[in-house]
Structure 1
Amino acid sequence: MTETPLLLTREGAVARLTLNRPERRNAMNSAMGAAIDTALDELAADTTTRVVIISGAGGHFCAGLDLTQVGAVGNTEAERAAAAQARNHATGQRFIRLSSLPQIVIAAVQGAAHAGGLGWVCAADFAIATADARFCAPEVRRGLVPAQILPWLVRRMGRSAAMRMTLRADVIDAAEAGRLGLVHQVVADAAALDAAVTAIIADIRQGAPMALAETKALIAALGPLSPEGYAEAGAQAFAKCAAGPEAKEGIAAFKEKRAAHWVG
């Protein structure tokens, strides 16, 4: 079992955030969330790092929320809903904080980028994927809602493509993700991914650090990610579903590799 759910390493002016729960396809649990918060605090105050690369260990990017934590906290439905609401809201804030870093953020994607993993893809300034990467927003199939990733998908892909991903909830390949605008570039394999990331870093080094940071801030100022109050409303919607019977059935069906009862 992995003891360190997140690795933060540095190579000169480049910092690497590696989601490090390979045995769970880097699914996010509370320990990983806390480690990400600490790393984001450190990076936000870092004046020497110019590029942040976020990736996953073990050949996968991130499978989203660790579903073993849904409904696992609290003795009553109200307590479980409150825990789910707080967890979902905190996840959304992490996407915002990654996007708001003064450094240029690159998502280097291999394997699965599902559910909350899509939030990291879209919160990054650049997203590069290998040809074997797979993308999915499967929440509705689990009796849940894609509350905190939805604004990021809409911003990156547009409302129509985001609707297609979140309502159909099927798996798309890297080529389709590139066509829809979810990722900026698709490359053949891990070696080509490293080369593509290196090329972006070389380009970024040509820009002045303050000018790059101010440009990011100006782009963000062109419009809010979502309407005021959306994050809290999204967290409430997630909590309502997470504490309800559909999530219980959907997650059980996923674990048991069977169709949920509503499939027909």
Structure 2
Amino acid sequence: MVVEYERRGAVAVVTMNRPEYRNAQNSAMTYALDEAFYRAAEDDGVAVIVLAGAGPHFSAGHDIGTPERDADATFPRRAGMWWDHVGKAGAESRFARESEVYLGMCRRWREIPKPMIASVQGACVAGGLMLAWVCDLIVASDDAFFADPVVRMGIPGVEYFAHPWVMPPRVAKEFLYTGDRMPASRAYELGWVNRVVARGALEEETLALAERIAAMPRMGLALTKKAVNQAEDLQGMHAGMDAVFGLHHLAHAHNAETGGDPLGGQDARSMREAPHGS
């Protein structure tokens, strides 16, 4: 299974399970995550959701080249009413697909009325950031690092463009302009990682935090989450993401028109092997 689901008392642990591909997210994984989150949201016995990744890495991002990439497969759409991307051409296909499986899914998951904690180790890159950022809290191991290198593709960041709300704008610009890796210690200093723990203690520390939160009243947690999310949206987060999503697709279209490749000639290997800071 590309996603595993386990109940641990009042905590649902949802684990991405493609460790051989650093948990790169194909569509099968995205929709399996959606099913797992629905299951946890509907279970009255679940108070907190933990999102984790099997193996040495949380997630290397969206699947742009594994043998099991399934971008042309049909799945039941749940994040929006836009038509299916399968069989469509050009921007009509890309916009429909990314509206559903990237921006649409992430926005829905952000609104799950139960606290969500990302448990991050190793790589949390590009599409991996989107999964961590929809969670309310992030617990990272001391070997974790974060990066959004998609400017190398000529694209202004991932589809769920939370960067200016997660970190100060000048830091966000450097993060994007360079594509460098940000260590967990730096993310903690900037306030978008809640805790940094030893790699061997990551699971234990994350579950301890989840169990502590699970003891709080359910309605109080749900309303508190909604209150903070509304404050972010009043600061322009929702509208800002819509605007950047348009720029994101302008970049795809520009790449396709000038070079025949919406990813600007990049693939999983070239993105992984590009120079990076530390």
Same fold per TM (> 0.5)? Answer: yes
Residue 68 to residue 143, structure 1, CA distance change in 2 (3 Å): farther
- Secondary structure, counterpart of 1:66 in structure 2: coil
The equivalent position to 1:172 in structure 2, one of 182, 187, 190, is: 182
Q: Secondary structure at the match of 2:192?
A: coil
In the other structure, the counterpart of 1:24 is 21
CA deviations on 1:157-195 (whole Å, 9 max, x unpaired) are 2322222211221112221221222311111213x2123
Matched, 1:251 2:267: yes
| Match of residue 262 from structure 1 | none
Instruction: From 229, 239, 258, give the equivalent of 1:227.
Output: 239
1:131 and 2:128 correspond: no
Residue in 1 that maps onto 2:98: 88
Give the corresponding residue for 1:61. 58
Counterpart contact for 2:5–2:15, Cα < 8 Å: yes
Match of 1:211 in 2: 220
CA distance in 1, matches of 2:49, 2:158: 25
More deviation, 100-109/203-212: 203-212
> Identity across aligned pairs (percent)?
31
Letter matched to residue 173 of structure 1: P
Deviation digits for residues 76-107 of structure 1, max 9, x if unmatched?
A: xx714333222322211222222211111010
Distance 1:48 1:257 in 2: 44
Q: How far 1:65 sits from its partner (Å)? A: 0.8
Q: How does 1:13-162 map to 2 (within 5 A)?
A: 13-68=10-65, 73=72, 79-90=89-100, 91-150=102-161, 152-162=162-172
Distance 1:238 1:71 in 2: 22
Post-superposition offset of 1:215: 0.9
Q: SS of the residue aligned with 1:59?
A: coil
For the residues of structure 2 that align with 1:102 and 1:162, how far apart are their CA atoms?
28
Q: 1:223 to 1:173 in 2, by over 3 A?
A: closer
| Structure 1 residues without counterparts, runs of 5 or longer | 260-264
2:83 equivalent in structure 1: none
- C-alpha change, 1:250 and 1:124, in structure 2 (3 Å) is same
Distance in 2 (CA, whole Å) between partners of 1:258 and 1:209 is 45
Q: Which moved more, 1:178-187 or 1:221-230?
A: 221-230
1:242, distance to aligned residue in structure 2 (A) = 6.1
Identify the residue that residue 199 of structure 1 maps to in structure 2: 208
Aligned pair count reads 251
> 3-state DSSP class of the match of 1:122?
helix
Amino acid at match of 2:239: P
Separation in structure 2 between the aligned mates of residue 167 and residue 109 of structure 1, nearest angstrom: 23
* Unaligned 5+ runs, structure 2: 74-87
Residue 243 of structure 2 aligns to which amino acid in structure 1? Y
- Give the Cα separation in 2 of the matches to 1:253 and 1:50: 39
* Local SS of the residue matching 1:65: coil
Pick closer, same or farther for the CA change 1:71–1:83 going to 2, 3 Å.
farther
Q: Secondary structure at the match of 1:249?
A: coil
CA distance in 2, matches of 1:256, 1:211: 42
What TM-score results when the alignment is normalised by the length of structure 1? 0.83
2:207 maps to a residue whose letter is: T
TM-score by length of structure 2 reads 0.80
- List per-residue Cα deviations over 1:25-48 (Å, max 9, x = no partner): 001111112212222332333322
Select between 206-215 and 158-167 the one with higher mean Cα deviation.
Answer: 158-167
How big is the shift at 1:146?
Answer: 1.7
